[in-house]
Amino acid sequence: MCWTCAIKTNIMNKLRICCLQHVSFEGPGYISQWANENGYDLHIIHLYRNESLPAVDETDFLVVLGGPMNVDDEHINAYLKEEKVFIRACIDAGKTVLGLCLGSQLIIRAMNMPVFPNGEKEIGWLPVMKNKDVTHPVADLLPETVTAFHWHGDTFNLPEGALLLASSEGCVNQAYLLNAKVLGLQFHPEATPELVHNMLQHENAELVNGKPYIQTKDAIETGMPHCAEGNTVMHHLLHYLVAQTVKNNKQ
């Protein structure tokens, strides 16, 4: 390995990646595999166990996972208040941030924008379409269409300056980018078969028949091969975000 490449690899492997987990059954999924394969230390904070948040300056790359709660359910999950303050502080400090499902909503709420019920819940394997009107390097990493895993009922308005990267039939704001290094994904490209099975086990009461964007348990289980499709998207986006983090650390 050349000297320059060795230095770059050393910088990347020392990145402090902090992952906020809200419930026991909705972990980082493919992100853990990606971190292990690339030699990154993924430090998971189990908020539901009342584990403490790190200092902002101890974090290079923040990952905010999903969960079944609402962003403002502070009376049930008291940690949400402090978490939103922490997310906003990371954004204001120029940190790289990735939000998945609830995580994407928490970013929006931390930016003082509303989060509210969507017209329809989306649960299952549903297509997400890239916004062809956006020109940005991260948009180039998205396929024209990806059949992704969904489990959400809320949506949000985008703050000024945000780029809308992707939409679905049932939800306009599926992916957005702020300041080149804050990425929110309403869908779940990190989903693995294990993660999906866990969600089915704990949240199957939401699988209501007769809704246009809610699939049956059987249909969701049959769609497990789509995990690989979403993981490929997640892989490319994570490497983009790491590159942004390395760039930030060199400045």
Could you write out the DSSP letters of every residue in the chain?
--HHHHHHHHHHHT-EEEEEE-STT---THHHHHHHHHT-EEEEEEGGGTPPPPPGGG-SEEEE---SS-TT-TTT-THHHHHHHHHHHHHHTT-EEEEETHHHHHHHHHTT--EEEEEEEEEEEEEEEE-TT---TTGGGS-SEEEEEEEEEEEEPPPTT-EEEEE-SS-S-SEEEETTTEEEESS-TT--HHHHHHHHHHHGGG--TT-TTB--HHHHHHTTTHHHHHHHHHHHHHHHHHHHHHHHHH-
pLDDT band per the 50, 70, 90 thresholds, residue 66: very high
* pLDDT tens per residue across span 197-236: 999 999 999 999 999 999 999 999 999 999 999 999 999 9
pLDDT band per the 50, 70, 90 thresholds, residue 99: very high
* pLDDT tens per residue across span 102-157: 999 999 999 999 999 999 999 999 999 999 999 999 999 999 999 999 999 999 99
- Give the pLDDT score at 3: 26
- Give the pLDDT score at 12: 52
Indicate the pTM of the whole model. 0.94
Q: Is the pLDDT of residue 4 over 50?
A: no
Q: What are phi and psi of 53, to 5 degrees?
A: -75, 150
Q: Is the pLDDT of residue 6 over 50?
A: no
Average pLDDT over all residues of the chain? 94
- Give the pLDDT score at 14: 80
Give Cβ neighbours of residue 2 (< 8 Å, ≥ 6 apart): none
CATH topology for 15-188+202-246?
Rossmann fold (3.40.50)
Closest CA to 18 of 52, 49, 79, 61: 61
Q: Is the pLDDT of residue 244 over 80?
A: yes
Q: Is the pLDDT of residue 75 over 70?
A: yes
pLDDT band per the 50, 70, 90 thresholds, residue 247: confident
